[in-house]
């Protein structure tokens, strides 16, 4: 029987980063080493299966943008559609990994696994974490029954829906909040502790078609995030509304509560047709809705993920 292929898509990040000195884990440039070179430098990957690599982009993920997301979604969908491809692994910077993971899960909901992985130390580091993370990602990609978009870092597997970067420096930089991790990778073996992200079959194809028909280069719906804090004012919301914003996500305090000045400005924006959502700026927990709420909550999504959900919803409604 022909062995199944795993496709590794490179997008850059610290995992592909390089510094002048092996002891420098800070003063490096992300996205310097091609995915083919990264893979070749890890001999143990050869045992992980029949690999195929493709460079989709080469960037520091702080600079991730919509055209790159579109290209990545298209290349991922392309490879997943091939019978001989078992899974897609994406190497990515840690900084916006949770956004890309959520975006891919939203538009593809794949029935095969799509595994994002990363590193907190550059490839040039004395003790880089990238190779082990990539090996772990391949163990997840090859696991029977794996499906959906997940992220693997420091031996922990997170669902795209829950994953969040929670530490700016530690190797184990991600967390799944109240939901907890999906699995652990231990010496190449997966210990599953909860269900894989759901797949949506035909609905996913419709979402992908919707995105694909959104021409590259065309502006995506304008959705911005505003934060509630002590002394918040109406100014950011008023400026954004004047600039033509279509959606606003408010990162509220605690249970999505808003400073009264910010709330008044958001209600005003909502009354003029801007779509508004309330998320929580807390790292854990979610906004628990009340019958009296006048601004919809983000249904458990963090502000950055709620923004993506709102953009996709606006795209879908503008095509109706």
List, by residue number, the catalytic residues. Answer: 14
| Residue among 60 and 297 whose Cβ is closer to ligand SIN | 60
Please select the residue that binds ligand SIN; options are 94, 117, 176, 302, rule is CB under 6 A: 94
Shortest gap between Cβ of 274 and ligand SIN (angstroms)?
A: 30
Of 56-64, 182-190, 204-212, 289-297, which part binds ligand SIN (CB under 6 A)?
A: 56-64
Please select the residue that binds ligand SIN; options are 7, 30, 185, 308, rule is CB under 6 A: 30
Shortest gap between Cβ of 15 and ligand SIN (angstroms)?
A: 6
Size of the site for ligand SIN (CB under 6 A): 12
The angle, 0 to 180 degrees and rounded to 10, between the axes of the packed helices 260-271 and 235-242 is: 20
Shortest gap between Cβ of 123 and ligand SIN (angstroms)?
A: 11
Please select the residue that binds ligand SIN; options are 60, 98, 99, 136, rule is CB under 6 A: 60
Shortest gap between Cβ of 105 and ligand SIN (angstroms)?
A: 19
Please select the residue that binds ligand SIN; options are 118, 138, 241, 310, rule is CB under 6 A: 118
* Encoded tokens for 162: 């829950």
| Cβ contact 153:183 at 8 Å | no
Of 90-98, 259-267, 279-287, 297-305, which part binds ligand SIN (CB under 6 A)?
A: 90-98
Please select the residue that binds ligand SIN; options are 7, 9, 10, 14, rule is CB under 6 A: 14
| Cβ contact 255:288 at 8 Å | yes
C-alpha distances (whole Å) from 187 to each of 8, 91, 107, 132, 149 are 21, 20, 32, 10, 22
Shortest gap between Cβ of 17 and ligand SIN (angstroms)?
A: 7
Contact call for residue 13 and ligand SIN (CB under 6 A):
yes
SS (H, E, C) the chain: CCCCEEEEEEEECHHHCECCCCCCCCCCECCCCCHHHHHHCCHHHHHHCEEEEEEEEEECHHHCCHHHHHHHHHHHHHHHCCCCEEEEEEECCCCCHHHHHHHHHHHHCCCCEEEEECCCCCCCCCCCCHHHHHHHHHHHHCCCCCCEEEEEECCEEEECCCCEECCCCCCCCEECHHHCCCEEEECCEEEECCCCCCCCCHHHHHHHHHHHCCCCCCCCCCEEEEECCCCCCCHHHHHHHHCCCCEEEEEEECCCECCHHHHHHHHHHHHCCCEEEEEECCCCCCCCCCCCCCCEECCCCCHHHHHHHHHHHHHHHHHC
Shortest gap between Cβ of 240 and ligand SIN (angstroms)?
A: 26
Nearest residue to the partner ligand SIN, using Cβ: 93
Please select the residue that binds ligand SIN; options are 57, 88, 93, 155, rule is CB under 6 A: 93
| Residue among 28 and 196 whose Cβ is closer to ligand SIN | 28
Contact call for residue 95 and ligand SIN (CB under 6 A):
yes
| Residue among 14 and 280 whose Cβ is closer to ligand SIN | 14
* Encoded tokens for 120: 């907190």
| Residue among 118 and 277 whose Cβ is closer to ligand SIN | 118
Shortest gap between Cβ of 30 and ligand SIN (angstroms)?
A: 4
Please select the residue that binds ligand SIN; options are 90, 120, 150, 190, rule is CB under 6 A: 120
Residues binding ligand SIN (CB under 6 A)? 12-14, 30, 60-62, 93-95, 118, 120
């Amino acid at each position: 029987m022909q062995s199944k292929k795993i496709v590794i898509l490179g997008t850059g990040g610290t995992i592909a980063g390089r510094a002048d000195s092996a002891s420098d884990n800070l003063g490096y440039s992300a996205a310097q080493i091609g995915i083919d070179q990264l893979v070749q430098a890890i001999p143990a990957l050869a045992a992980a299966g029949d690999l195929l690599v493709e460079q989709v982009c080469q960037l520091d993920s702080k600079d991730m943008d919509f055209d790159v997301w579109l290209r990545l979604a298209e290349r991922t969908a392309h490879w997943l559609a091939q019978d001989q491809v078992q899974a897609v692994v994406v190497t990515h910077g840690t900084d916006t990994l949770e956004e890309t993971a959520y975006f891919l899960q939203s538009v593809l909901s794949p029935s095969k696994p799509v595994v994002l992985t990363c590193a907190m130390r550059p490839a040039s580091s004395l003790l880089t974490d990238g190779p082990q993370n990539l090996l772990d990602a391949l163990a997840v990609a090859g696991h029977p029954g794996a499906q959906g978009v997940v992220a693997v870092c420091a031996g922990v597997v997170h669902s795209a829906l829950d994953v969040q970067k929670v530490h700016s420096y530690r190797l184990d930089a991600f967390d799944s909040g109240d939901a907890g991790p999906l699995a652990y990778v231990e010496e190449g073996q997966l210990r599953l502790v909860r269900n894989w992200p759901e797949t949506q079959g035909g609905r996913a194809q419709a979402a992908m078609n919707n995105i694909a028909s959104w021409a590259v280069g065309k502006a995506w719906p304008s959705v911005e995030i505003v934060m509630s804090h002590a002394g918040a004012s109406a100014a950011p919301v008023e400026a954004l509304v004047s600039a033509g914003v279509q959606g606003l996500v408010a990162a509220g305090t605690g249970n999505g509560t808003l400073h009264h000045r910010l709330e008044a400005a958001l209600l005003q924006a909502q009354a003029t047709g801007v779509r508004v959502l309330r998320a929580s700026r807390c790292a854990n927990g979610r906004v628990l809705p009340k019958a009296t709420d006048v601004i919809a909550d983000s249904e458990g999504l963090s502000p950055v993920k709620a923004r993506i959900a709102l953009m996709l919803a606006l795209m879908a409604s503008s095509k109706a």
